[in-house]
Structure 1
């Protein structure tokens, strides 16, 4: 009888698949990172409990591209500085990905707020530009000119905070509690340069990062990086406290009723 590929795998095949996934080679990406300070009350509003604002109201945008075994992948993240207990880290609000595989794995395993989108990084001589695009809107644009080579830092660790949960089958809340996940990334950099430029945030009903207004631009860099990550469940979070924030995860049609921020 012919093998049906949707049928069950045997134990040896499962073990082989796990071993292959654990032995991936170093994968280097080229990415632009921008860091700025926004309003403290803005950061406080977007953080679900038990997360608290970090020491400074910082926003970090990362926009990267990589050739993944012959397949191009674009990956982005818009995150705010946050703290959980004694741990300082980042709380991503949106993580555009250009492939379904990258999106599904991160969402199902870690609870990452990944969404399909367009991600671009371009470098022509000293000029650098990068964009995150969804629903036809380039809601984040970073561009500028390379101004100098920066010292290559050693291996560093960064923590991202995610909430892993399941919406209820009946549409009324969540199926049980959520889990606050600490995802630790060990990052290596082999090339890093400073960029003098700007960050443009455009109004988008589905990705309203324009609310994270740029008050003071801290830095823009472009570099080549490689990283690996591991996660752990740090705390169970009651569904009731998380419900006001779960629209962050989805393209909620009701979100188009949210008014854009009033101009100062």
Structure 2
């Protein structure tokens, strides 16, 4: 019988996949990072418990082009500063990706709030433009010019917070208790430059980051970096406390509440 591609993989094939994953080469990305101070009450309002606001109401937009062999990946993120259990980190609200492979892995394994979208990083001499767009709306755009080189930072550990869950089959809550994930990245930078410019937030009903206004621009850079990624479940969270925030993950705020169609079997 010919190989049935949907059939079960052999133990040898699964072992080979696990071994290959441990030998991944460094993957470098070119990215624009913007950090700004926003309104403290707004930043606090988007944090599901048990996350707490950080000392400063910071928002970070990271817009990158990742050099994957065979197909470059556009990867973006808008996150707010947060703390949990004495750990300082970032809570991403939306992470647009240009390829489904990057989207599904992050959502299913780590609980990342990834969505398909358009992510672009362009540089023409000193002029820089980077944007995240979905549904035809560039809801974050960074425009500016490179103003000088910056000293390379030491390798650093950075933490993102994610909530991993599955909506219930009957449309009521979750199938199991959600979990809070700490995703730790060891980041290395090989090039870093300052950018003089601005951040434009456009209104979008699907990605309402315009609710996090730029009160003061703290950092605007373009650079090349690589990082690894390790996640761990740190605790199970209260389902009822998390449920009011689940619309952050979906374009249709009613999606989490959708039950099976009437008359379905």
TM range (shorter): over 0.9
In the alignment, the residues of structure 2 paired with residue 68 and residue 170 of structure 1 have an alpha-carbon distance, to the nearest angstrom, of 39
CA deviations over 1:34-62 (Å, ceiling 9, x no partner): 00000000011000000000010000000
Aligned ranges 1:165-204 → 2 under 5 Å: 165-204=165-204
SS at match of 1:31: strand
Calculate the aligned-residue CA RMSD, in Å. 0.9
In the alignment, the residues of structure 1 paired with residue 86 and residue 53 of structure 2 have an alpha-carbon distance, to the nearest angstrom, of 12
Q: Relative to structure 1, is the Cα distance of residues 85 and 253 closer, same or farther in structure 2, using a 3 angstrom cutoff?
A: closer
Instruction: Say yes or no: does 1:223 pair with 2:229.
Output: no
Displacement of 1:219 in angstroms is 1.2
Displacement of 1:238 in angstroms is 1.6
Instruction: Say yes or no: does 1:239 pair with 2:239.
Output: yes
Aligned partners of 2:181 and 2:231 also within 8 Å: yes
Displacement of 1:253 in angstroms is 5.2
In the alignment, the residues of structure 2 paired with residue 235 and residue 50 of structure 1 have an alpha-carbon distance, to the nearest angstrom, of 10
Q: Which runs of 5+ in 1 are unaligned?
A: 256-264
Give the corresponding residue for 1:122. Answer: 122
SS at match of 1:71: coil
In the alignment, the residues of structure 2 paired with residue 58 and residue 139 of structure 1 have an alpha-carbon distance, to the nearest angstrom, of 18
Give the corresponding residue for 1:91. Answer: 91
Displacement of 1:205 in angstroms is 0.2
SS at match of 2:176: coil
Displacement of 1:254 in angstroms is 5.1
In the alignment, the residues of structure 2 paired with residue 254 and residue 208 of structure 1 have an alpha-carbon distance, to the nearest angstrom, of 16
In the alignment, the residues of structure 2 paired with residue 207 and residue 150 of structure 1 have an alpha-carbon distance, to the nearest angstrom, of 32
In the alignment, the residues of structure 2 paired with residue 238 and residue 85 of structure 1 have an alpha-carbon distance, to the nearest angstrom, of 16
Aligned ranges 1:39-188 → 2 under 5 Å: 39-188=39-188
CA deviations over 1:69-104 (Å, ceiling 9, x no partner): 111100000000000010000000000000000000
Give the corresponding residue for 2:205. Answer: 205
CA deviations over 1:176-220 (Å, ceiling 9, x no partner): 210000000110000000001000000000000000000000010
In the alignment, the residues of structure 1 paired with residue 244 and residue 165 of structure 2 have an alpha-carbon distance, to the nearest angstrom, of 14
TM-score (norm 1): 0.95
Aligned partners of 2:118 and 2:134 also within 8 Å: yes
In the alignment, the residues of structure 2 paired with residue 207 and residue 63 of structure 1 have an alpha-carbon distance, to the nearest angstrom, of 15
Runs of 4+ residues over 6 Å off in structure 1: none
Q: Which runs of 5+ in 2 are unaligned?
A: 256-265
- Count of residues paired in the alignment: 255
In the alignment, the residues of structure 1 paired with residue 157 and residue 45 of structure 2 have an alpha-carbon distance, to the nearest angstrom, of 26
Displacement of 1:17 in angstroms is 0.7
Displacement of 1:67 in angstroms is 2.3
In the alignment, the residues of structure 2 paired with residue 219 and residue 72 of structure 1 have an alpha-carbon distance, to the nearest angstrom, of 26
In the alignment, the residues of structure 1 paired with residue 174 and residue 66 of structure 2 have an alpha-carbon distance, to the nearest angstrom, of 35
